[in-house]
Amino acid sequence: MSLKEQLDAQRAKSRERIPAETRVLMDQGTESLRQSGIVDRGLKVGDTRLTLPCPTPLGILWIRLTSWPRDRWW
């Protein structure tokens, strides 16, 4: 079973546990966000994002560009 199939199965199980009136509200909220255009403005596979500055324990700030999502996670 592929990861997508596993996630789809988990999503279906989760929806069964959520009361119907809550699912309606969640679906309305999701559709509202889609219509707002937020999906079109979000990062796509392969897009480059800027990592926010983060101080190290020594107080040094670093900023780096990365590709999202990563091919591998370590």
At residue 61, what are phi and psi to the nearest 5 degrees? Answer: -90, 145
CA R_g for the chain: 18
Give the residue, 47 or 11, on which the prediction is more confident.
11
Domain boundaries, the chain: 3-67
Band (40; pLDDT cuts 50, 70, 90): confident
Torsion of CA 54, 56, 58, 62, to 10 degrees: -60
**Could you report how far apart the first and last alpha carbons of the chain are, in Å?**
23
- Output the pTM of the full model: 0.50
The pair of three-digit structure tokens given for residue 20, joined into one six-digit string: 């119907």
